[in-house]
A and B are shown apart, each in its own frame.
With several copies, the nearest count.
Chain A
Amino acid sequence: METINTEMMVQIVDKMGDIIIENEVYFCELDSVAGDGDFGMSVAKGFRQLKTDWEELAKDDIGAFLKDAGMVITEYCGGASGPIWGSAFRAAAKSARGKSEITVAEFADMLEAAVAGIQKRGNAQLGDKTLLDALIPTAVAWRDAAEQGLDAIAAMDAGAKAARDGAEKTKSMTANKGRASYVGERSLEHPDAGAMALGVIFTELHRFVAG
């Protein structure tokens, strides 16, 4: 698979929703150790609404679809996750505006836009023990894959691995951003919930696309 078309992207986001909803309780548990235990709920809520509104989402092109999805996520994801995931989707939408097919390089552009969107809103850096510690390495992996000429499935594989490794590394970080920062040193040894979730999501998505 060299490129990803609108239909594929719609399926990927649909599957992403399934993964999040299935893992709702697990994601909450991840957030319980140093956070307030609602992360799974917050994200699942938005994706559940996405499924409710599914028929009404634009499917004209990747950009239009991601923009509509981003609006629902912004409104319905709870807590910090609404603006974080919402701005990620809307930034990605901007980057894919008008496109009904994207290459691995364009997918990397989209991920980088998502990172920038999240940073604009939340002001976090690599190492701050947030989901960016999984998402930034994923974007880097996609960029590398594009430069190496890998296809989308291989890029997804590399991206998922990068997310898992990034999430793993959050274990040794003391949180700076988000609620885990309130427990300071006590968040050591525990990974960040958002980063771990991205590891799970990207891994499952690769399995799904690879068939």
Chain B
Amino acid sequence: MKKLINNPESLVVEMCEGMAYAHPDKLEFKKRHKLMMRKNPAKDKVVLISGGGSGHEPAHAGYVGEGMLDVAVCGDVFASPSTIQVYNAIVDTETDAGTLLIIKNYSGDIMNFEAAAEMAEDDDDIKVAKVYVNDDIAVKDSLYTVGRRGVAGSVYVHKIAGAAAEAGKSLEEVTAVAQKVIDNVKSIGFALTSCTVPAKGTPTFKLEETEIEFGVGIHGEPGVARQAMKSADELAEECVDLLAKDLPFNAGDEVAVMINGFGATPLQELYVFNNSVYRQLAEKGIKVHNTLVGNYMTALDMAGASVTLLKLDDELKAYLAAPVDTVALKGV
């Protein structure tokens, strides 16, 4: 493992401090509970809290700021923040308007965010709502599983719920529009290489030069199938076919597209891939209203990418276009 770090133990705190030093106008880092807080949020709006394991940079701290999140709760690499951390985030940012927790559908996150919400409601009488992002279509959604993971689609949930909160909507309204995004957003990803968790020091899985893992999440877990490496066009076809069927997305639909890099994929390749995806969507008559290409929800140093589609209506379009000024997202 060759990483530009000092040591795995202090990594998350050093990273957060490095981020706060870089953006002193936007961010304030509270070290005790690893909370990345928005500088000067409105006092009377619905509070948005997200977070999860670290290793997904710029998520989640990069989405703290005007028009998005109020707090990102930072866990260790790929490990949910603790109940105590989340609880402190809720209590520290309490407003009369209430708090929405944007939770990715992972057992760890669910357990910690829910337990924290219970504590805040029971002990502090804070109104806490929750939404669960579950956009990853790699996983079959069935009664017998914990359901689908939340991955890059979270960014759209942050953006749109953030715009609604900034617009002064009520907790119920913000929660409803967040849920609308969740109901209309789907993602699928693949890895060209494994990532290396710093504390472990070796890659989580091994891929040959000719192999990829299809259907990976953002924690370096293996995907649902190992496949032969394909061209950008072929991968785009496979991803778009799966995504289109799932919601489904149909001819005439307008979508936001995110081509998300997992951390070690050069922008060059992401733009080539966007070209492939764009043409696949065009073939299906699906209209691209808005595109994001970049590293938005990563898995450390994993090479690979995910495609996210969000079906838009006028409400979602308006919130998507609303002003936003965070480290990782400025304007859309």
Contacts and interface: CB of A to CB of B under 8 A. Distances in A.
* A–B in direct contact per CB < 8 Å: yes
Given A28-B200, A41-B199, A78-B80, A181 B146 contact: yes
Contact of A83 (B83, B146, B223, B224): B83
A202 interface: no
Contacts of B144: 176
Contact of A178 (B76, B138, B146): B146
A177 B107 contact: yes
Interface of B, secondary structure class, is loop
Interface in B53-97: 53, 75-80, 82-85
Contacts of A176: 144-146
A122 B217 CA distance: 21
Interface stretch (B14-22, B37-45, B108-116, B264-272): B108-116
A71 B106 CA distance: 22
Contacts, number: 111
A141 B83 CA distance: 32
A61 B275 CA distance: 46
A186 B62 CA distance: 34
Interface residues of A, number: 35
Given A41-B199, A76-B82, A178-B146, A183 B223 contact: yes
B76 to A, nearest CB: 5
A82 B223 CA distance: 25
Interface of A, secondary structure class, is helix
Given A83-B112, A176-B144, A183 B221 contact: yes
A75 B75 CA distance: 11
B248 to A, nearest CB: 22
Contact of B224 (A77, A121, A183): A183
Nearest to B205: A32
A45 interface: yes
B115 A36 contact: no
B84 A74 contact: yes
Interface in A179-206: 179, 181-184, 186
A78 B79 contact: yes
Interface in B193-222: 197, 199-200, 204-205, 217, 219-222
Contacts of B222: 34, 183, 186
A76 B81 CA distance: 9
A44 to B, nearest CB: 10
A184 B220 CA distance: 15
A38 B219 CA distance: 10
Nearest to B148: A182
B104 to A, nearest CB: 12
B289 interface: no
Contacts of A34: 221-222
B139 interface: yes
Interface string B125-150: 00000000000001110001110010
A186 B214 CA distance: 13
A84 interface: yes
A38 B199 contact: yes
Contact of A32 (B139, B146, B204): B204
A25 B202 CA distance: 11
A80 B205 CA distance: 21
B200 A78 contact: no
Given A79-B53, A177-B146, A86 B75 contact: no
Contact of A77 (B82, B220, B221, B223): B82
B108 A79 contact: yes
Given A36-B221, A42-B76, A74-B83, 11 more contacts: A37-B220, A38-B199, A74-B84, A75-B84, A75-B85, A77-B82, A78-B76, A177-B146, A182-B138, A184-B139, A184-B140
Interface of B: 53, 75-80, 82-85, 106-108, 111-112, 114-115, 138-140, 144-146, 149, 197, 199-200, 204-205, 217, 219-224
30 contacts: A32-B204, A34-B222, A35-B221, A37-B197, A37-B200, A37-B204, A38-B76, A42-B76, A45-B76, A75-B84, A78-B108, A79-B75, A79-B80, A79-B108, A80-B106, A81-B108, A82-B82, A82-B111, A82-B112, A83-B83, A84-B111, A121-B115, A122-B111, A179-B107, A179-B217, A182-B139, A183-B222, A184-B139, A184-B224, A186-B224
Interface of A: 25, 28, 32, 34-38, 41-42, 45, 74-84, 86-87, 121-122, 176-179, 181-184, 186
